[in-house]
Structure 1
């Protein structure tokens, strides 16, 4: 299991910081794991699964 920081989440998803946190507040994106007082990271697999679900949604619409 690997944890990734916000910069990597933004790079992998193409989302801006504000959009990542907006989606989290709307329960539309994986929640981060607290690593300390002001330090969080995301489970890489959860982010990858989110990306895969977006691809599946796209493909379902195209059928």
Structure 2
């Protein structure tokens, strides 16, 4: 299983870090997995699935 950092997702989607966290606040983005108090990662599969579910995906 591959995990992505927020910077990886920013590059994939062409959005800012604040946009990703806003989507999370709006419950419109996959929940990350906490690896430690300061480290979170997203599953690549979850992000790819989310992309395909978007109107422009």
* TM-score between both structures, scaled by the size of structure 2: 0.89
Structure 2's unaligned 5+ residue stretches are none
> Aligned equivalents of 1:20 and 1:33: distance in 2?
15
Q: CA deviation at 1:21?
A: 0.3
> Aligned equivalents of 1:58 and 1:2: distance in 2?
24
Question: If you compute each CA radius of gyration, which structure gives the higher value, 1 or 2?
Answer: 1
- The aligned counterpart of 1:52 is 52
> Aligned equivalents of 1:11 and 1:4: distance in 2?
11
Aligned residues: 57
DSSP-derived class of the 1:28 partner? coil
For residues 7-27 of structure 1, the C-alpha deviation after alignment (integer angstroms, 9 at most, x for no partner) is: 101111112100000000110
* TM-score between both structures, scaled by the size of structure 1: 0.81
The structure carrying a bigger helix percent of its residues is 1
DSSP-derived class of the 2:42 partner? strand
Moved over 6 A (4+): none
